[in-house]
Amino acid sequence: MKLILIIAYILQISCSKALDFKVMLSQMDQHHLGQTFLNALQIGLTAGSPVHEIQSYLNNIRFMLQQEQKDSDIFIQSTQLKCQRLLHDFSTNYAYHSSQLLANQKIVQENTENLQRALNKIAEVSVEIEQNILKTNAGQSERDLQYIEFQSTLKDHNEAISAIDEAYALIEHLANGLSFIQLKGRFNKVINRLTSQSQGITHLFQPIINMMSQLASNTDDSKKLLLLLSGLKVQIVENSNQNKDLEQEASLNWQSFLNDLINEKNTLSDQRQNLEQAILNYQSIIQESSEKSQYHQIEFMKNKENVENQDIWCRQQQDLYSIDSQSRNEALQLISNIVDHIQDKIVTLKEYLRERHQIK
């Protein structure tokens, strides 16, 4: 840079039209750098160096500047290629991690929503399963009570039919000629048996009980009594058969309804199991994608910073290259101007330097 300033100073004084050349040399001699340059020229002239050596000296400077420019051109080309490669790599990584960050954030959001829906749904399914169990238990309890009632009624009917058969046999014996005295013990037993029937049937036996109680004094009603017993037995058998049919129908209806409840529960249980597995999957995906998001967030910021810093550095290198190139070009132009003018001024320069030497 000092050399450039010297050359610029020489060009200024050599090209000026306003001042005398000796006056300019005198002004230059007042500057430290100018003194250094003039001393070098004076030594060269004292040693008898011809003008072409001074020109050669300037040409060497010009060659040095040109070589520096070539080296700078090579360096900036290499730097530009390096910048292009690094910026491309950083930008590619930046774009990749940016897209991956957005993609994983979207996955987290979508699966979080899916998880919430699955949790809400599994709560609904669990309520439906509880309701299914309650309906099954309530229905089974009602069915059990119905069956117990049926068994009790069937037992009453069988007992009543058995009592009727026994009474019928006794009255037949009486009608066939046996005396009431012979059958009295069995009559009392049968009457007690008929009297002890369930309340639902006792009222049916009351007329028969009354007639059997009068057989001791009047056996003429035995045939009529047999007809009543036969009719009552038929009525009880019909009622019993109707109850059996109703019981069978109720049993089939309950079994069908129970099968529906079982199928419904199995479907709900499968649905809940699938939801439980889905919830585990959603939670796993959310955790994995969250971890990936954190990783890509870090890499995204790192590569973003790399792109910005690398771009700044590359611009700085380009600016430095431009500034240095401009300075070298200006220096080369100065040297060219000096070489052009030095022939015209060399005589005046020698005279000034000789006078300068005499003064010192």
In this predicted model, which residue has the larger pLDDT, 178 or 330? 330
**Count of residues in the chain:** 360
Q: Which comes out higher in pLDDT, residue 166 or 30?
A: 166
d(CA 118, CA 125): 10
What mean pLDDT value characterizes the chain? 81
Q: For residue 127, how many C-alpha atoms fall within 13 Å in the half-sphere facing its CB? A: 5
127 pLDDT higher than 90: yes
Specify the amino acid at residue 246.
L
Q: What is the token pair recorded at 170?
A: 């006794």
* pLDDT for 10 beyond 60: no
**Is 251's pLDDT higher than 90?**
yes
At residue 225 the predicted structure's pLDDT band, cuts being 50, 70 and 90, is confident
**343 or 170: whose pLDDT is higher?**
170
**pLDDT number for residue 4:** 46
Q: Quickly state the pLDDT bin for 283 (edges 50, 70, 90).
A: very high
Residue 224 identity (one-letter amino acid): K
Max mean pLDDT range (18-22, 169-173, 315-319, 324-328): 315-319
Provide the pLDDT for residue 135: 95
Instruction: Quickly state the pLDDT bin for 317 (edges 50, 70, 90).
Output: very high
Per residue in 48-84, pLDDT tens? 555 566 667 777 877 888 888 899 889 989 999 998 9
Look up the pTM and report it: 0.59
Q: What percent of the chain has pLDDT over 70?
A: 69
SS3 198: coil
Positive or negative, the Cα torsion across 83, 84, 86, 91?
A: positive
218: left (phi over 0), alpha (psi -120 to 50) or beta: beta
User: Does the pLDDT of residue 254 top 90, yes or no?
Assistant: yes
| Neighbouring residues of 295: CB distance < 8 A, sequence distance ≥ 6 | none
Average confidence (pLDDT) over 218-234 = 78
Most confident of 83-87, 136-140, 155-159, 226-230: 136-140
341 vs 31, more confident: 341
pLDDT of residue 207: 74
Compare 301 and 336 and report the one with higher pLDDT: 301
Per-residue pLDDT, 31: 55
191-220: burial string, b at 16+ Cβ within 10 Å, e else: bebbeebeeebeebbeebbebbeebeeebe
Span 170-224, pLDDT tens digits: 778 776 666 656 666 676 777 777 776 666 666 676 777 677 766 655 656 677 8
Sign of CA dihedral 192, 197, 200, 204: negative
Q: How many CB atoms lie within 10 A of CB 77?
A: 11
Confidence of residue 346 (pLDDT cuts 50, 70, 90): low
SS (H, E, C) 288-308: HHHHHHHHHHHHHHHHHHHHH
pLDDT at 11 over 60: no
Q: Is the pLDDT of residue 322 over 70?
A: yes
Q: Are 10 and 28 in contact (CB under 8 A)?
A: yes
